[in-house]
Structure 1
Amino acid sequence: MSNKVVVIFSGGMDSFTVLHRALKDGKEVYALTFDYGQKHVKEIACASKVCQQLGVAHKVIDISAINQLLAGSSLTDDIDIPEGHYEAESMKSTVVPNRNMILLSLAVGYAVSVKASQVYYGAHSGDHAIYPDCRPEFVMKMNDVCKIANYEAVEIFSPYLTNSKSDILTDGLNMGLSYDDTWTCYNGREKACGKCGACQERLEAFADNNVTDPLAYE
């Protein structure tokens, strides 16, 4: 098996931890960040900064044109970001149709081109309630497809698939990570809102670990 891996790196705290987990595992990392027209474009700047600091190969790919097809998400359309916890019905408006299948397909194509054997991505149990394409059954089926979609088999690897965001942060803290250069808030403002589902889950994770979140909140 090749030691090369592609990491889907959004710039958020989950993918930030996944990136470092891959490095900790001794992998040669190729980080891949997607600009799909998300309002929280600040996460892309965070991803670029982190990869530059680490000396990790990094590509930022503009796929925002797909929003001509994928309408109806508050992350990309002129729709207010809902406030409240991830499990709230209103959070369904943050679903971007088929996003992870698209991103994983592109990442697998990149993996084949650089002869990487795995694609790491940061799905976790906290996403299962609201995002169908973060559920274990999706990851397993996608993994099956990606092993036969090319002459070269590529494994979809989600190291935190059955873990919570708090668990992910615990692992990151155990690796000595600082989360200053990550962005989670779905709103694209200067400071994190502290009210959207993404912010609430992040704040809960830091509280569970008895650590202060380094981000500034409104």
Structure 2
Amino acid sequence: MKDSVLIVSGGMDSITMLYEYKDRIAIGLSFDYGSNHNAREIPFARMHCERLGIRHIVINLDFMHRYFKSSLLEGPDAIPEGHYADDNMKSTVVPFRNGIMLAIATGIAESNGLRHVMMANHGGDHTIYPDCRPDFVAAFGSATAAGTYEGITVEALYTGITKADIARRGHALGIDYGETWSCYKGGVRHCGRCGTCVERREALAEAGIKDNTVYDSPLTMPYE
């Protein structure tokens, strides 16, 4: 039974969840908030939703680009290079982004008679992104349940696993990760050196999966 809305960015994690739970997902919901890479990732979200026969909605959140402070909203040159573990990657946090998206997704769910909102955060997100941490997910889920007639829940089904674990699941489902987008710089190709590119490359390597992504940088890992 289709009972869920999935926040789907077009990246590895949400596309994997889209395929893994396709029998439950009624709506794939993407957000255009003016980031460097929205124009690159949203078409992948749309393509995969169409491929699976899942309704796809794009919500414009232009106010975030105009009023929020984040290197993710300031152009590709503002994006730091390096590993996600580095402190400089904190500049890519968009304040309370997931809270805003989850609130809208909850409204979409209730308006369409659905019971759950899915998000594809994973264990590696917790250090850098406060609104990906388990305590945030639990608190927000309590708020959605209390604030809706149907008691809508938030399901963050990858919270306890790694990106490599997700990659293994997606590989088993037949997903070509070359048809997803990660790079925060949002160029013609993945840069290969920003935090999301490094994380992507490490996850696929750890999972033993051939990386079909085209990178600007050499194929050797830049931050080993």
Q: TM-score range by the shorter chain?
A: over 0.9
| Residue in structure 2 matched with residue 92 of structure 1 by the alignment | 90
Which residue in the other structure is 1:75 paired with? 72
Answer whether contact 2:35 2:65 (CA < 8 A) is retained: no
Secondary structure of 2:27 counterpart: strand
2:210 is aligned with 1:212: yes
Q: Distance in 1 between matches of 2:173 and 2:51?
A: 17
Determine the structure 2 residue equivalent to 1:7: 6
Matches within 5 A, 1:162-173: 162-173=160-171
Structure 1 residue 70, shift from structure 2 partner: 1.4
Task: Give the conservation status (yes or no) of the 8 Å contact 1:186–1:198.
Answer: yes
Unpaired segments ≥5 residues, structure 1: none
Q: Distance in 2 between matches of 1:3 and 1:52?
A: 16
The structure 2 residue matched to 1:50, chosen from 48, 51, 55, is 48
SS at match of 2:95: coil
Alignment of 1:189-208 (within 5 A): 189-208=187-206
Q: Is the 8 A contact 2:18 2:25 kept in 1?
A: no
Deviations 1:100-159 (A, max 9, x none): 000000000000000111111111111111000000000010111110112121110011
Aligned to 1:145: 143
Tell me if the contact between 1:22 and 1:29 (Cα under 8 Å) persists in the aligned partners: no
User: Given the superposition, is the C-alpha separation of residues 211 and 28 from structure 1 closer, same or farther in structure 2, using an over 3 Å criterion?
Assistant: closer
- Distance apart, 1:28 and its partner CA: 4.0
User: 1:123 maps to what in 2?
Assistant: 121
Q: What TM-score results when the alignment is normalised by the length of structure 2?
A: 0.92
Higher mean alpha-carbon deviation, 76-85 vs 111-120, is at: 76-85
- Over the matched positions of the two proteins, sequence identity in percent amounts to 42
Distance in structure 1 (CA, Å) of the matches to 2:10 and 2:53 = 15
Q: CA deviation at 1:86?
A: 0.6
Q: C-alpha separation between the residues in 2 aligned to 1:68 and 1:204?
A: 33
Q: What amino acid sits opposite 1:37 in the alignment? A: G
Question: Matched residue pairs, number?
Answer: 214
Question: For 2:26 and 2:21, how far apart are their aligned partners in 1?
Answer: 7
Question: Which residue of 2 is the match for residue 40 of structure 1?
Answer: 37
TM-superposed CA distance for 1:68, in Å, is 2.8
Unpaired segments ≥5 residues, structure 2? 217-224
